[in-house]
A and B are shown apart, each in its own frame.
Chain A
Amino acid sequence: MDNERPIKRFLPLRPVEFHILLSLAAGERHGYGIIQDAEARGQAMAPDVGTLYRALRRMQEQGLIAAAERRQAPDAGDERRNYYRITPRGRRVAQAEARRLEALTRAAQLGGLLEEGAI
């Protein structure tokens, strides 16, 4: 499987992948929770459910995330949900992606595309 794959081989991440890691970095989430997080981040187009679950499956296989305990969601009565959590490896990949984006943004600033402190 992909456990041996070096971190930078994952970069750049797809938007949906970065959203997933970003959400899970804050704590365990179920699928719809990740979509809600993405919507809350102000993305006009949050990932579709199908896209999300394909990515979840792929990233699980790559060892970036893992299935967490199945449990009741606090906001959905007694319905149980599949939760996911980020792995240490996933966290490292997310950090690397964030650094990559940061460097790009800085370059954009230096190039005059962004105003200082616009982030």
Chain B
Amino acid sequence: MSEERWLRRSERWLRLLLRLYPEDFREEMAEGLLEAYRDRCRAAFRRGGVLSLGGIWLRSLVDSLRNGVGERVRPGITWRRVGNWGRDPELVVRRLRRAPMFVAAMVGTLTVGLGAFAVVYTVVDKVLIEPLPYDEPENLYFVWRDYGPIFDLNRGWLGGTDVVALEDAGVIQEVAGVERDDGVTLTGGTTDGEPQEVAVMTTSPNLFELLGVQPELGRGFTPSEVGPGRPAVAVLTYGLWSQRFGADPSIVGQEIRLDGEPYKVIGVMARDFSFVQHASLELPQSADLYTTFDLNLAETNPGAGSYAGLLRARPGSSPEAVEAAVATVGRMVDERDFESRGLRLYPVAMEADLVSRVRPAIVMLGLAGLLLVVVLMVNLATLLLVRAAQREREFAISRALGADRLALVRATLLEGGVLGALGGVGGALVAVWGTRALVALAPLDLPRRDSIAVDWGVAGTVIGVGALLGLLAGAVPAAWATRTRLATLLAATAVRGGGGHGRMRRAMVVVQVALSLVLLSAGGLVLRSFEQMLRANPGFDPSRVLTLRVPVPQARYPDTAAVRSLHERIHAGLSTLPGVRSVGAAGALPLSADASQTTVGFPGAPGNTGETEHDRPLVDRVRTRPGYFEALGIPVLAGRAFEETPTEGVREALIDRTLAAEFFPTGSPIGATLMFFDDSLRVIGVVEHARLYNVYRDDRPQVYLRTADFLRPTLSWALRTNGSPLSLAAEAQATIWEIDPELAVADIRSMDQVVSDSVRQQRVSAVLISGFSLGALLLAAMGLFGVVSGSVTRRSHEVAVRLALGAAHGRVLRLVVREGMVLVFLGLLIGAPGVLLAARIIGGVLVGISPFDPPTLGAVAIGLALVALAACYIPARRVAGIEPARLLRQD
């Protein structure tokens, strides 16, 4: 065989081996590599013939295996293979700096969108979804009394005897009774602590076992620590422990005083422990410390409901089984204690019970937030389409100049990812701050308020989702760049000059307008409802009134004479403060939801019907001191208020407008008799219904009694002042401590604050939803602006021709504006059914207006149309700037 032939064979063998090298290496170096090998083979063949050549073949195989694989694993020039990542970011930054509006719009959109979503998600998750911090919380239930025909109360406390009876019921594992008292004065335990009012939860000793929690420090209650003569022991909450005792662990074992009685601290609960006693009529409330009953629940009066009943069902019990077991006990109780008059017991799952009050508002806000996020996503898609269209030309040229397809994709993806991550970071910050602001605004009694915060998981997810959205967003133009054939791309760009996708963009604007309409309508309704609420007449005059509460410990003031004298001294002391016009006191201030309930009757009143249920109404009973109505500005509608010196031998009462209208529709109630248990009182006047629960809704009728006749040691005091009420706060406190330094002064607020605090939830809703809807409006307006200005640019030739042919500017302007407004009206049309749907959903949280309130909905539609008109008109005015002569000459 000739040398030539062997060399050709060698060449084929070497070309085969070359495949072991990566492609980019081959492209550059194959020629040289082959030359060198060819030289080598020729030299070897000449030196030692075929045998020598075989050696080279073998050696080249080993060489190619080693270096081919080596080059693949550790490329000599890294960036050519995986892309020049070191250089790409620089290019991306440079490119983005050329489009600041795009960057701002994209990052802003993501920030707002992700932020809003994260806030809403956090609140919904923490309040509605995340399980309560107890062991198997799904097995926990509160039990309530439904008095049925006995009287008008279908969510009443249990009697102590009910709690005992429930212990024997079928599927129930444990039962506890809980009673809360918030007028307790805490002293001792520290050397310099002022007397402090605390709320105490008095419970069965098994409460903590029932919830499945343990104190962090010390111990819980033992089963024997209950009943008459029980050791007085207390478990502190983390809050009280850190606030009053400086988180000093040595508090365990020390003595504190509650209303003067000594209690030994045996434990401190963990920081994340929280328990609220669900109330029959009021809001769920927490306490500062826990102690046990000093009575035997089995020996309490079955007729009186005073205990929140909490039970843990056996694991695996269905809610139906629990309900049946509780109902069985209820029938037994009804027969035993209520002569089978129809009392019923029923359980409500703890979590459902806790959040039932806020669920409608949170669901509404959640939906509004989601809607906003959808609007934002539409906005994002629009932005990207515009960007893709703008870059169409750039892609076409880059690729025509030989740019690597992959390089273009890489750059576009990187651009999207960077923007997305930036937006994600912004969103996370918005989420953290937004949640904090929301919690600050939120009502103090919002369930699980303390746990509402953005955690690292949520923040990380937000940033990740931002980057992912950015990548996805980048993928749209990237796909555009690679899929389209070069020729088509260039041709299309040449013809249209970029800016395609017109139809898609229009559709998106229509969607945005429709969604904005829905959000704005909901926002408008909630705002109007809030306004109605603030304008409602609460039945008293909250301006320039200072209120405070002075709990009176029984141990310190054991008899009625001592309490009366204390009240007189406080009254006199507060009256002498400068700027105080009048002083009054009551057991329950308006909006405190703190009154006790009782049934009353008006024997011989013209309004009686003869039915017990009507003639013995359940009323809120408020004990007051003279001067109360004057101090709070509650109008006396007929008769007179209580006077300083009571009429001898007569117990007096005032009734509110609703009772007077119901029982004395024609005549005057003055002088009528009011029956209250076995007492008969004389009605001396009628007052306005001063709302006790809600600024906007009347609740039960009210009866006012004298504290002189029905003593209540702990009173809330109201001072009507000439100037700013809060400036008197310190002096009022000093006055009380002058009288008795062991007294706590609690809840110092102006009545305006009380009113404002009572509408916090509605305020949060109003602020959030108006923010959401204004955001949506802004986005829709931006979308419209973009479409119309794009249209003006695209149609400038057409417009120039029209103008050149003599069309008036105004006419052309109208033409362009009309194009935008058609989209707006389409959006309004499509949004209308959504508005009706949204109105149905939010109907439950509206006060004082119908969810289909025509003025509100009409105003929203008109307002949206006007904003849209402006968004169309402003870019359209550029038409006027078109000079036909110059523009047409360019072609």
Interface residues of A (CB under 8 A from B): 30-32, 35, 48-58, 61, 76, 79, 81-82
Docked complex Cα distance between A61 and B29 (Å):
13
Give the residues in chain B near A51, CB-CB below 8 Å.
63, 66-67
- Taking a contact as CB atoms under 8 Å apart, the answer to whether A54 and B70 are in contact is yes
Q: How far is the CA of A57 from the CA of B25 in the complex (A)?
A: 8
Q: Is the CB of B36 within 8 A of A31?
A: yes
* A119 → chain B closest CB, angstroms: 30
A49 close to B36 (CB less than 8 A):
yes
Contact B67 A48 (CB under 8 A): yes
CB pair A48–B63 under 8 Å, yes or no, is yes
Residue A82 contacts which of B31, B67, B71 (CB distance < 8 angstroms)?
Answer: B31
A50 touches B35 (CB 8 A): no
Other contacts beyond A31-B35, A54-B25: 16, CB < 8 A: A30-B32, A30-B35, A31-B36, A31-B39, A32-B35, A35-B36, A48-B59, A48-B60, A48-B66, A50-B67, A50-B68, A53-B33, A53-B36, A54-B71, A57-B77, A61-B77
Q: Which of B1-56 contact A (CB under 8 A)?
A: 21, 25, 28-29, 31-33, 35-37, 39-40
Q: Which chain A residues border B77 with CB–CB below 8 Å?
A: 57-58, 61
Q: How far is the CB of B808 from chain A (nearest CB, A)?
A: 62
Contact A57 B29 (CB under 8 A): yes
B64 is an interface residue with CB less than 8 A from chain A: yes
Residue B76 is within 8 A (CB to CB) of chain A in the complex: yes
Interface size class of B (residues with CB under 8 A): 20 to 34
A-B contact count (CB 8 A): 67
Instruction: Determine if A56 and B35 form an interchain contact, defined as CB atoms under 8 angstroms apart.
Output: no
Which positions in B face A, CB cutoff 8 Å? Answer: 21, 25, 28-29, 31-33, 35-37, 39-40, 59-60, 62-64, 66-68, 70-71, 76-77
B21 to chain A: which residues have CB within 8 Å? 50
* A72 to B: closest C-beta gap in Å: 12
**A56, B68: Cα distance in complex, Å:** 14
Q: How far is the CA of A53 from the CA of B28 in the complex (A)?
A: 10
> Bound state CA distance, A13 and B66, in angstroms?
20
Instruction: Report the nearest A residue to B21, measured CB to CB.
Output: A50
From the candidates B28, B35, B59, B66, name the one contacting A81 in the complex (CB within 8 A): B35
State the Cβ distance, A85 to closest chain B Cβ, in Å. 14
Q: Is the CB of B36 within 8 A of A30?
A: yes
What's the Cα separation between A54 and B33 when bound, in Å? 9
Interface contact A54-B35, CB-CB below 8 Å: no
Once the chains are docked, how many angstroms separate the CA of A48 from the CA of B63?
6
A79 to B32 Cα, complex, angstroms: 12
A101 to chain B, nearest CB (A): 24
Instruction: Compute how far the CA of A56 lies from the CA of B35 in the bound complex, rounded to whole angstroms.
Output: 14
Q: Are A52 and B76 in contact (CB under 8 A)?
A: no
Q: How many whole Å from B74's CB to the nearest CB in chain A?
A: 10
List, in ascending order, chain A residues with CB within 8 A of B67's CB: 48, 50-51, 53-54
CB contacts (< 8 Å) of A52 on chain B: these are 36
Taking a contact as CB atoms closer than 8 A, the residue among A31, A58, A61, A76 that contacts B32 in the complex is A31
The answer to whether A49 touches B37, judged by C-beta atoms less than 8 angstroms apart, is: yes
* A47 and chain B: residue at smallest CB distance: B63
- Closest 3 pairs between A and B when the two form their complex, measured CB to CB: A50-B67, A58-B76, A31-B36
Return A4 CB to nearest CB of chain B, in Å: 12
Closest Cβ–Cβ distance, residue B18 to chain A (whole Å): 9
